[in-house]
Amino acid sequence: MRRKEDSHTRGRIAPIHALFAAAMLGLLVMPLALAGAKPSDAKSSASPAKQIKSLKRRVAALERKAGPAIPAIPATLPPSGPAGGSLLGSYPNPRLAPNSVGREQILDGSVDDLELSQNSVTQDKLQDQSVGAAELRGTYERVSAGVAAPPGAFVDAQANCNQGDKVLGGGYAFLNPSAFEIQATTPNVGAGGLDNPDQWIVTAASAADNTLFAWAVCIAA
């Protein structure tokens, strides 16, 4: 009878043994579950405060790589407040400060008749010796050939500037003293047009047989 009971006892697992085996199995399964967890699960478990702190560190690192900060955007449009640098006054209508524009700021040939209104440059705008020979174009005179003027007949004489130059003024003369009549003494707009005449023309008559001359004062282009 005792042997029978012993063999029966050896063929069964006691309840305490089953609980111990289940606990050991749980300990083995748990590390496997944690090892197989997705990275997103670990990130989602971080607190919002830690995430914000991490983002701030990344932004600061990007700003250091980007270099100087972008200038601040004006708080109002149009801008207002005192002007600085080469400007004087206040926005929105500052003006150029005295002596802020010099030779270095003006390109050669950038200022011509289109940029200057009539009579905009007067004596008070020019300093002593600010305009020299290099800034002035050369002038010269041209005299026409003599034109025969029979008594009482109107004849034309014209003096021509060099091609491409402009006539500034002119005049006339008769070879012999005599009473005369001048009908016209003017730039010849038929040659060069109203904006750039290059001839001076004279129409005149002499009371006696004579010779008429015209002359022009020209400026080089």
Q: Kind of pairing, strands 139-143 and 166-174?
A: unpaired
Could you read off the pLDDT of 71-98 as tens digits, one per residue?
556 677 777 888 888 888 888 888 888 8
Is the link from the previous residue into 78 a cis peptide, with omega within 30 of 0?
yes
Residues 113-124: pLDDT tens digits? 676 777 677 776
pLDDT of residue 173: 93
The string of pLDDT tens digits covering residues 16-75 is 445 445 545 454 444 444 444 455 444 555 677 888 888 888 877 776 666 655 555 667
Around Cβ 146, how many Cβ atoms within 10 Å? 15
Cα distance between residue 86 and residue 102, in whole Å: 11
What are the phi and psi torsion angles at 6 (to 5°)? -65, -40
Q: What are the φ/ψ torsions at residue 31 (nearest 5 degrees)?
A: -60, -35
Within 8 A by CB and 6+ apart from 123, the residues are none
In this prediction, residue 145 carries a pLDDT of 93
Rounded distance between C-alpha atoms, residue 202 and residue 146, angstroms? 12
Cα gap 91→104, rounded to integer Å: 26
User: What are the domain boundaries of the chain?
Assistant: 142-219
Number of C-beta neighbours around residue 220 at 10 A = 13
Cβ(163)–Cβ(192) under 8 Å? no
Q: Cα separations (Å) of 115 from 109, 127, 199?
A: 11, 20, 27
Q: Could you report the per-residue pLDDT of 131-186, keeping only the tens digit for each?
A: 666 666 788 999 999 999 999 999 999 999 988 888 989 999 999 999 999 998 98
Tokens of 41: 């699960």
